[in-house]
Amino acid sequence: MNKDLFEDTFKMLVKHAYKVRYVPHEVIEDYNATYNVIFKDKHIVTNAARELKIPLNEIWISEMWKSYEKYILFHELREIYHRANGMGAKEAHEKAVQESLSLCRHDSLFKKMIREIQNMDSKTAEKKFKNS
């Protein structure tokens, strides 16, 4: 994996005029980020986006993760790319995770983000467990 993939992936934002919207963490805490977009003439939408009623061609990210924008967006855009090319949602997510790790694993800010997301995910899961 190389930096070209990173740069080429971000060209998707401009080419498709996707709007990136930061929303309060409470709104999207169960997902961290999600999307509802058209890519390669295909409607690529997550169940979370349907639930949250995200407008077409928007990517929503928790405002909590704004300092990690480039990593979060790379992941979401790679997931969109893979889904448009025939992968299922789970498979596309895993592929995007692998690509992110391959490209960014030596980046200290990326490592910090991973730790923070893992910590937040366990807090969210604990909160859900207490409320059920």
pLDDT in tens, 6-47: 889 999 999 999 999 999 999 998 889 999 999 999 999 999
**Domain encompassing residue 49:** 3-131
* Total tally of structural domains belonging to the chain: 1
Where does the pLDDT of residue 71 fall: very low under 50, low under 70, confident under 90, or very high at 90 and above? very high
For the record, the structure tokens of 63 come out as 């405002």
Return the CATH number at 71. 3.30.2010
In this predicted structure, what is the pLDDT of residue 30?
85
For 83-123, what is each residue's pLDDT tens digit?
999 999 999 999 999 999 999 989 999 999 999 988 887 76
Euclidean distance between CA atoms 93 and 132, whole angstroms: 27
Contact 85, 12 (CB under 8 A): no
Strand-by-strand arrangement of the 19-23 sheet = 19-23, 58-62, 33-39, 42-45
Q: How far is CA 44 from CA 11, 57, 65, 69, 106, in A?
A: 17, 9, 22, 20, 31
Residue 1 has a pLDDT of 46
For residue 2, what pLDDT is reported?
63
